[in-house]
Amino acid sequence: MAQDNFSRVTEFILLGLSDTQELQPLFFTLFLLAYAMVVLGNLLIIVTVRTDPKLSSPMYFLLCNLSFIDICYTSVTIPRVLVALPSGHKAIAFGGCMAQLFFLHFVGSSEMFLLTVMAFDRYTAICRPLHYTAIMARGACWALVAACWVGGFIHSIVQTVLMLQLPFCGPNMIHSYFCDVPPVVRLACTDTTLTEWLMASNSGLISLGCFLVLVASYVLILAKVRARLSQGHWKALSTCTSHVMAVTLLFMPCVFTYLRPAGTLPTNKYVCVIYTIFSPMMNPLIYTLRSREVKESMWRLWKRCRA
């Protein structure tokens, strides 16, 4: 009954990375450059893979989907920051905040599942090469990608429903540049202990579980490569190295952020920069610089465009 007397918050104030006005032009420039690199770099990968028949293997099909997800992922947060920094308008409607939270977790968890699928693809290529074509057929790849999106949707729906059950009646200052579970749940006008544990079990265990599966797959791959030191296996290991770099950039900050109740430790908004901006920005560089085939295909695409 007491909660019925609460005046419901209609908007939140996103405080950003810093209140210092002198730093706002610097942040705007950095966010703009990062977003441009994410969009242009990942679009280049998508166009390259889609236009070159030589890049038709399941690995590049999954890489193309990862690039699409990275564009969607950064587009959930960065464009609004780019609009807010010059205007100084930091308010976001309650519905807009919940929508941003939903799509952030929807796309973010889909990316985690997709990276796990990519690790399975590399494991199958190295450890079961004779069955690789049958296991990773095009239909199976589409089914795995669809499962990633469905899993991300289910995860995000659970998070959003838990958030919508909470009453928000007082403080509305979010110490971040986007709406996410840890900073928003602290503003609820009720005991959120159970909700925080449920959310940590949802987001945190997904992050940790995917990460452990990835680590296990790479350990098995390493053991296989050490037993059979052929040129093809070393090439596959080189590809896995780029996957490990991408996985580390995404999963470590997520595990740190989500695998604990929101009230136990303050959220480090600079850690959030790693998995919302830096990781998607580095993915095109990591995968293209580690893949000779992609670099050669990009060079051929460049020559065709100049002709």
What confidence score (pLDDT) does residue 31 get? 93
Q: Which of the four pLDDT bands, split at 50, 70 and 90, describes residue 240?
A: low
Domains located in the chain, CATH noted = 11-301 (1.20.1070.10)
pLDDT, tens digit (0-9, with 9 covering 90-100), for 32-76: 999 999 999 999 899 988 888 888 889 889 999 999 999 999 999
Percent of the chain with pLDDT over 90: 29
pLDDT at 171: 81
The answer, as to whether pTM is greater than 0.85, is yes
Structure tokens at 284: 């095109």
Q: How confident is the model at residue 293 (pLDDT cuts 50, 70, 90)?
A: confident
d(CA 62, CA 253): 23
